[in-house]
Structure 1
Amino acid sequence: MTAVMPMLTLNNDTAIPAVGFGVYRNPPARTTVSVETALANGYRLIDTAAAYQNEAEVGSALSQSGIDRAELFITTKLWVDDYGYDSAFRAFDASLAKLGLDSLDLYLLHQPLPSDFDATVAAYQALQTLYEQGRVRAIGVSNFETAQLAELLARTDVVPAVNQIQVHPYFSEPEIRAFNLEHGILTEAWSPIGGVNRYSSDAAGTKDPLQDPVITALAAKYHKTPAQVILRWDIQLGICAIPKSVTPKRIAENIDIFDFALTAAEVSDISALDTGVRGGPDPQDIVRS
């Protein structure tokens, strides 16, 4: 890492690192080592979820790191099977136990549940209570569309600090990002370099932004990798990016993006690559198991 990690400010004045490390699809056996590698390379925001089934391995890496808890920003997510008020508390306690923590920095609803939005609201009300109790520094949502955010805002008291959504050059979600900005909600990007277009079984026919000529030309210009160019684009749009990898070299590269800057025209050129085509399944189709 060649520069100090910039921080973004959430709507409750909590500071969050501009780049974090995600562990989606990380096998438990590889999660501890990958998180240890990320921490050693300067990452302090670690993003996991109950549904990833690797919270315990993340917790192991955190406890072995020797890094002061105050320096870390840990996020996990409540899965739809635990939506509802009382069940959300039980799931929160289970996640904390696996992580080996007394509190979280950010707790998110993992998905909206369109088939039972009342349960979604009840779960978020539980998050509000956890926030009021000081057990969570900030709360938010993931994969919410604008209409769902609007309904949630109308039925609850605490504006989400974060909406974590799929964002990359080929699927940049400008309408949701604009709604988030208007309401003081930070956009956080999962799959920020378009990995979902490579690994998802639903991604047949989608293109890989890492191979786009606009991206590769900028990578050559700045002597950076295509992934670094895309992550720099995320940062310059004010997006908190959560890349993932289990490869030490790529883990180190993905945080080494603070020694160069794209021009405004280059940011616009990358934004113009948006196809509107989602990589992977639509989160709106998620149902309880």
Structure 2
Amino acid sequence: MSPTVPAVHLTARDGAVDMPLLGLGTWQARGEEAYRMVRTALELGYRHLDTATMYGNEAEIGRALTDSGLAREDVFVTTKCPPERVGREDETLERSLSDLALDHVDLWLVHWPPRGDNAGVRMWERVVAAQEAGRARAIGVSNYSPDLIDELVGATGVSPAVDQVPWSPSDHDAALVDALRERGVVLEGYSPFKRTDMDDPVLAKVAAAHDATPQQVVLRWHVQHGYVVIPKSVHADRLEANLAAADLDLTDEEMAAVDALGS
């Protein structure tokens, strides 16, 4: 039986959409490797897929999703618009939807703040329009600071539902967490393993107490805090182990000890 992955509610065009807190990242996976990875993940019980135009794997992900036989509403799909596509946002999303074989994505993100005068606001206006047209249920940003988010809200009155940023215990920043929470923005982290010393004795001690791995502790730390996390692996055993982290339950003391790795 697949682990139960909790979800966070995102503001969506049609009310709210549930975003599983643990998903599958697909960066650097291409071709048949990407297809097999996603098929395996879906068979194991993953219901959240994260991709991007710049990853070059949307067609493989779309094929895997179609071949899985799962109902569209059962899988949360995110893609991202590259910042250099200012002025070409609509065609970029249409290509993504075509490659993914979908009529909408659950979350569309601006992948990075665009450069140029007012470019960020102009791109965000088109992202908002895509949501209004039903092409993206929820919308957000990636690699944005709270100040940049405030610029978007000030210009459009629409706040991103999500900010996807590099995140791990070593990055833990209570001020950023509070700033996003105050703005009603969900924190989604990527690169959860690369940015933390997986040999840290704190992680080893917590892992041993739960008959788990340090990687599973890191993932559970995200989930238990309510941070979305999207680890990537092309290996079935690691995909299964990552998903199993959702079933761990760390104590308050263990959570605080892992938090302190960012101090």
Normalising TM by the smaller chain, what interval? Answer: over 0.9
Which residue pairs with 2:22 in the alignment?
19
Amino acid in the other structure paired with 1:32: Y
Aligned to 1:202: none
Provide the rounded CA distance (Å) in 1 between the counterparts of 2:117 and 2:108: 18
Paired AA for residue 155 in structure 2: R
Determine if the alignment matches structure 1 residue 230 to structure 2 residue 218: yes
- CA displacement at 1:209 relative to structure 2: 2.5
Distance 1:117 1:64 in 2: 43
**1:28 Cα deviation after fit:** 2.6
Q: Do the aligned partners of 1:153 and 1:159 also contact (CA within 8 Å) in 2?
A: yes
C-alpha separation between the residues in 1 aligned to 2:74 and 2:127?
A: 23
1:217-253 deviation per Cα after TM superposition (whole angstroms, max 9, x unaligned): 1111100111110111001111011111111111011
2:106 corresponds to 1:105: yes
Residue aligning to 1:6: 6
1:190 match: 190
Residue 117 of structure 1: how far off its partner (Å)? 5.3
AA matched with 1:70: E
Give a deviation string over 1:115-165, Cα, whole Å, max 9, x none: 325112111111111111112110000010121111111112221111011
Shift of 1:179: 1.3
Give the equivalent residue in structure 1 for 2:253.
265
Looking at structure 1, the residues matched to 8 and 225 of structure 2 have their Cα atoms a distance apart, in angstroms, of: 12
SS of equivalent to 2:250: coil
Name the one with the larger strand percent: 2
Mapped contact 1:140–1:161 kept (Cα < 8 A)? yes
What is residue 74 of structure 2 aligned with on the other side? 71
Identity among equivalent positions (%) equals: 37
Displacement of 1:7:
1.6
Aligned residue in 1 for 2:240: 252
1:168-190 deviation digits (Å, cap 9, x = unpaired): 01112433222111111111111
**Pairing of 1:1-289 with structure 2 (within 5 A):** 2-12=2-12, 13-84=16-87, 87-113=88-114, 115-116=115-116, 118-192=118-192, 194-195=193-194, 197=195, 208-274=196-262
Provide Cα deviations, 1:34-80, integer angstroms capped at 9, x if missing partner: 01111011111100000111111111111110001110111000001
Q: Tell me if structure 1 keeps the 8 A contact 2:3–2:243.
A: no
In the TM superposition, what is the alpha-carbon distance from 1:2 to its structure 2 partner? Answer: 4.8
**Counterpart secondary structure, 2:229:** strand
The amino acid of 1:225's aligned partner reads: T
Q: Aligned Cα RMSD in Å?
A: 1.4
| Structure 2 contact 152–158 (Cα < 8 Å) conserved | no
Return the alpha-carbon distance in structure 2 between the equivalents of residues 29 and 91 of structure 1.
23
Q: Distance in 1 between matches of 2:54 and 2:89?
A: 14
Amino acid in structure 1 at the alignment position of 2:150: A
Q: How many residue pairs align between the two structures?
A: 260
Measured at CA, do residues 93 and 264 of structure 1 come closer, stay the same or move farther in structure 2, by a change above 3 Å?
same
Secondary structure of the structure 1 residue equivalent to 2:66 = helix
Alpha-carbon spacing, 1:131–1:168, altered in 2? closer, same or farther (3 Å): same
Rate the CA distance shift 1:171–1:132 in 2: closer, same or farther, 3 A: same
Query: Which whole-Å CA distance do the structure 2 matches of 1:260 and 1:46 have between them?
Result: 21
Give the SS at the match of 2:90: helix
CA distance in 1, matches of 2:136, 2:173: 28
Instruction: Report the AA paired with residue 67 of structure 2.
Output: Q
